Each structure stands twice: as structure tokens, then as C-alpha cells.
Amino acid sequence: MDAEGKHIWEYKTADHIWSSPAIGSNGMIYCGSEDYYLFALKPEGKAVWSYGTHYLLESSPSIGDDGTIYFGSEDSNLYALGPDGHLKWKYKTEYDIDSSTALALDGTIYIGSGDGFLYAINPDGTLKWRFETKYSVMSSPVIDANGTIYVGSRDKKFYAVNSDGTMKWYIETGGAIESSAAIDKDGTIYIASTDGKIYAIGEKMELYP
């Protein structure tokens, strides 16, 4: 649709789409589908290529500065594809991935997994570190201006993790955290929990109920 809500085009996949699209600097649109494929579409809606993982894709893709597309799959893998759709590498976690990636300025890729870990992966696909929570991580991580990574877990906790993989702090809510955090210009962090509450957390971990 255009800015006025006018329908321009549509592209039909073979199943539901839970993934959010990502748009490259060249206008290419990337989106995953539950038909097991990640699709690359031109701005006019024509498919250029697709890449299949043989498992559901609910993770939303992210695009690196060099055009690499990163996304997770329920086959437990984090994938890195070149702009032409070829596989650069994949990194296997121990359970399915519903979380989406966050990309740091140094190229580190952060993603959560159903195995209960937050993973930090180097740009070459090797493991930098992983941080353990007590339950699956469906929440997508976010990174603040200082490089701190924030992520929620189904263990009811919301974690702040340093860029070296050590824990900075955590708070516990009354329910699982499956959504992702938002950070405002003042550094206040907002999270939602399945306990039905939205939490605002200050820079010094002050909790505003």
C-alpha cells in the first residue's frame, strides 16, 4: 500500500505469515512464511528468489550493512544469506527459533532460542557467547546505545546483558515475557508480560509499576 492506503500489489505464499518484512537499502523486501520459505521480492512485488529451510519461519529477518540477511527457523538454525539468496552460513542452536535477530554495530548477531539461551554470533557464523535463562526465549533482543542487550524469557524474567555475555541485572514479572522491549530517548525501557502488565524500567533499574 502507498502512504494514502491505496493497494499497489500483493504476493501470495502457500501458508500463513507471522514474520515481519525487512526492507533493504535497494528496496528489496524480505519476509518469511510458514510454507518454510524466506522470500525476496522486488519493490514492485515480483519474487527474485526464495530460500527453503524445511521448517516454519516465524522469525523476522534483519539485514546487515553488507546486505546479508539474518533470520531464524524452527529447525533450530540461525541463517545468514547473501543478497542473491545463497547460504553464507548457518548456526544450529538446541531448539526452535521464534525470536528475531538484533544486529550490533560491531556486526555481532543476537538471537534467542527455545533452548533458553540468548546467543551472540560473530559475523562469520561462529559462537561468541551464549547467556542462559531458565526457559525458552521467544522475545527478540534489543540493544541500547551503550551496547547493553535486553531480552525477555518465558521464565518470567527480563534481562539486561553486557556485550561480553555477563548479566547486568534482571527483574521478575508475574508472567512469561514473549514480546520485545522498546527503549525511549531517555533510556526508559518498556516491556509487556503475559501477566497483563506493561513495565517501565529506568536506567538504574528503577521499576515503575
Domain boundaries, the chain: 1-92
Question: Which residues are CB-neighbours of 36 under 8 A, at least 6 positions away?
Answer: 52, 53, 54, 55, 56, 57
Total Cβ atoms within 10 A of residue 196: 8
Three-state SS at 98:
coil
- Is 97 within 8 Å of 114 (Cβ atoms)? yes
* CATH fold label, 1-92: Thrombin, subunit H (2.40.10)
Predicted pLDDT of residue 1: 67
Distance from the first to the final alpha carbon of the chain: 38
CA–CA separation, 105 vs 124, rounded Å? Answer: 15
C-alpha cell at 27: 528496496
CA–CA separation, 40 vs 52, rounded Å? Answer: 12
Q: Is the confidence at residue 130, as pLDDT, over 70?
A: yes
Q: What percent of the chain has pLDDT over 90?
A: 84
Predicted pLDDT of residue 203: 66
- Helix H or strand E segment including 160: strand 157-161
When pLDDT is cut at 50, 70 and 90, the band that residue 2 belongs to is low
When pLDDT is cut at 50, 70 and 90, the band that residue 208 belongs to is very low
CA–CA separation, 125 vs 182, rounded Å? Answer: 27
CA–CA separation, 187 vs 169, rounded Å? Answer: 15
φ/ψ of residue 145, rounded to 5: -65, -20
Predicted pLDDT of residue 205: 61
Question: Which residues are CB-neighbours of 181 under 8 A, at least 6 positions away?
Answer: 139, 142, 150, 151, 152, 158, 189, 190, 191
CA–CA separation, 155 vs 17, rounded Å? Answer: 27
If you average pLDDT over every residue of the chain, what do you get? 93
How much helix, strand and coil, in percent to the nearest 5, is found in the chain?
0, 40, 60
- Is 121 within 8 Å of 92 (Cβ atoms)? no
Q: What percent of the chain has pLDDT over 70?
A: 96
Per-residue pLDDT tens over the stretch 70-86 = 999 999 999 999 999 99
How much is the average pLDDT of 108-114? 98
76 secondary structure, DSSP code: S
